[in-house]
Amino acid sequence: MHRDRFYTLSASCPDRVGIIARVSGFISEHGGWILESSFHSDPAIEGSEGRYFMRIEVKADSLPFALADFRECFRPIAEDLRMDWRLADSAVKKRVVILVSKQEHCLYDLMARWQSKELDIEIPCVISNHETLRGFVEWHGIPFHHVPIAADNKAEAYAEVQRLFEEAEGDTMVLARYMQILSADLCAAHPGRIINIHHSFLPSFVGAKPYHQAYQRGVKLIGATCHYVTADLDQGPIIEQDVIRIDHSDSPEDMVRYGKDIEKTVLARGLRFHLEDRVLVHGNKTVVFR
């Protein structure tokens, strides 16, 4: 990561000749210093047009304008290229709201990375459907909200989760082993902003108790998947995955223990990619510029 303040342009558009020339030419015309650039062309398949993806970091003080003016000046080019795009400022910390149930390992890991500044973020609050981790969270000086979930109050409970997220001015919601299925309304309200860690190598073993499913199937690899949350359970675009080898002597309990380590690292990597605007979503796939 650069020490200098920089702006990040992340964009995708229909593929055509001259995209890089238009964008880099605009930056160059204004004296912009490109610190890092990544590009990917996704070819046309089955009649669909190809798509082009890019991520460019520009040294902030090399430009004659601030971020808001950058947006306005760049907008005509983005409209002409039919871009989906966003601009981010490295000086503005992302606000991450964490949702958790009773299992603590992913929360502990994220909090340790936050406290050590490895994840340079703000955590405005933690939301849980249990009281179990209140003491740990509040010891760190972070507000803890208990929003219980039951069969007869789900609509009200998820409306409260959404209210708390918006009140906290959250940029990203992280389900750190939050063992509830979010409502379709909540998913639709924040597309591409809710991240989950699922304790299997998706698309295998969706839903509950994936390690027990893996044991019954006799697999030799188990894994974890960091993905965006959609209304379809465990079907959202995948950001990051990893696996660990097991054998016939491992019990479901062994798998759960092994899995905790890989869940933590996969969630941390996936969240970092997201926070650094390295993830571009295209349908149910992602392009991740590492």
Domain coordinates of the chain in residue numbers?
Answer: 6-89, 96-288
Report the share of the chain in percent with pLDDT over 70: 98
CATH code, residues 6-89: 3.30.70.260
pLDDT given for residue 208 in this prediction: 82
Report the amino acid identity of residue 289.
F
Bigger pLDDT: 43 vs 32: 32
Closest CA to 186 of 97, 276, 122, 281: 97
CB-based contacts of 270, cutoff 8 Å, min separation 6: 195, 197, 226, 227, 239, 240
pLDDT given for residue 45 in this prediction: 66
pLDDT given for residue 249 in this prediction: 92
Report the amino acid identity of residue 261.
D
- Of these ranges, 152-161, 198-207, 214-223, the one predicted with the greatest mean pLDDT is 152-161
The model's pLDDT over 261-278, given as tens digits with 9 standing for 90+, comes to: 999 999 999 999 999 999
CA distance 218 to 26: 55
pLDDT band at 31 (very low <50, low <70, confident <90, very high): very high
Set 234, 247, 254, 261: catalytic member: 234
pLDDT band at 73 (very low <50, low <70, confident <90, very high): very high
Q: Please, what is the end-to-end C-alpha distance for the chain in angstroms?
A: 12
pLDDT band at 46 (very low <50, low <70, confident <90, very high): low
The model's pLDDT over 172-189, given as tens digits with 9 standing for 90+, comes to: 999 999 999 999 999 999
pLDDT band at 7 (very low <50, low <70, confident <90, very high): very high
Cis before residue 203, ω within 30 degrees of 0? yes
The model's pLDDT over 87-103, given as tens digits with 9 standing for 90+, comes to: 999 999 999 999 999 99
Pairing of strands 285-288, 279-282: antiparallel
pLDDT given for residue 127 in this prediction: 98
The pTM (predicted TM-score) of the whole model is: 0.94
Closest CA to 72 of 87, 93, 62: 87
Helices and strands in the chain, H and E counts: 8, 13
pLDDT band at 1 (very low <50, low <70, confident <90, very high): low
Q: Same CATH fold, 96-288 and 6-89?
A: no
Pairing of strands 126-128, 144-146: parallel
Token pair in block for residue 219: 């697999």
Look up 234 and say whether it is catalytic: yes
Residue 229 has phi, psi (to 5 degrees) of -90, 130
Q: Read out DSSP for 184-236?
A: HHHHHHSTT-EEEEESS-TTSS-SS-HHHHHHHHT-SEEEEEEEE--SSTT-S
User: What is the mean pLDDT of the segment spanning 181-204?
Assistant: 93
User: What is the mean pLDDT of the segment spanning 231-239?
Assistant: 92
Report the share of the chain in percent with pLDDT over 90: 87
pLDDT band at 2 (very low <50, low <70, confident <90, very high): low
Q: How many residues are listed for the chain in this entry?
A: 290
CATH code, residues 96-288: 3.40.50.170
CA distance 130 to 83: 42
Mean pLDDT (the chain, rounded): 94
pLDDT given for residue 253 in this prediction: 92
User: What is the mean pLDDT of the segment spanning 149-157?
Assistant: 94
pLDDT given for residue 43 in this prediction: 85
Residue 62 has phi, psi (to 5 degrees) of -85, -10
pLDDT given for residue 90 in this prediction: 97
Token pair in block for residue 117: 């500044």
User: What is the mean pLDDT of the segment spanning 148-158?
Assistant: 94
- The phi-psi region of residue 177 (left if phi > 0; otherwise alpha if psi is between -120 and 50; otherwise beta) is left
